Amino acid sequence: MSRPAVIIDTNVVVAGLLTKQDASPVVRILDGMLGAAFPFVLSEALLAEYRTVLVRPVLRKLHGLTVAEVEAILTDLAQHAIVLAPVAAPPAPDPDDQLLWGLLAARADLQLVTGDKLLLRDAGMQGRVISPQAFLESE
């Protein structure tokens, strides 16, 4: 049985690049995305958000990648992704995360993998919003 597709929140991608522990769930998820180990969903807006965050000067100092290296990683991710457009959705717990809610609403079988505690606690999305650790444990 194949695994359902997931949406990977920006905080997981960022943490995957910043964490130095190879066994960390966020590193394993980012490596899995780059290796096409599981199906994942992107939208043009989510990919743009990944880029905007990853090229911030403060984060570039932490991860040590050039803008060109960030763009190469994002190109690899985009090549392996299922690209969907967000649809109208109920309000997200945080308005800055409405894009993620719109992607979740695009397909009933999608789950969101995030480290955002506010999103993880949303009662209306229980079972659809999971932590990186829970995602890996479901393999």
> pLDDT averaged over the chain?
94
Residues 2-25 have pLDDT tens digits of 788 999 999 999 999 999 899 999
* Closest among 17, 2, 3, 137 to 77, alpha carbons compared: 17
Residues 87-113 have pLDDT tens digits of 999 899 989 999 999 999 999 999 999
Residues 38-53 have pLDDT tens digits of 999 999 999 999 999 9
- The whole-model pTM stands at 0.95
Structure tokens at 3: 């695994």
> What is the C-alpha to C-alpha distance for residues 63 and 36, in angstroms, rounded to an integer?
22
> What is the C-alpha to C-alpha distance for residues 81 and 103, in angstroms, rounded to an integer?
13
Q: What is the maximum span of the chain, computed from C-alpha positions, in angstroms?
A: 42
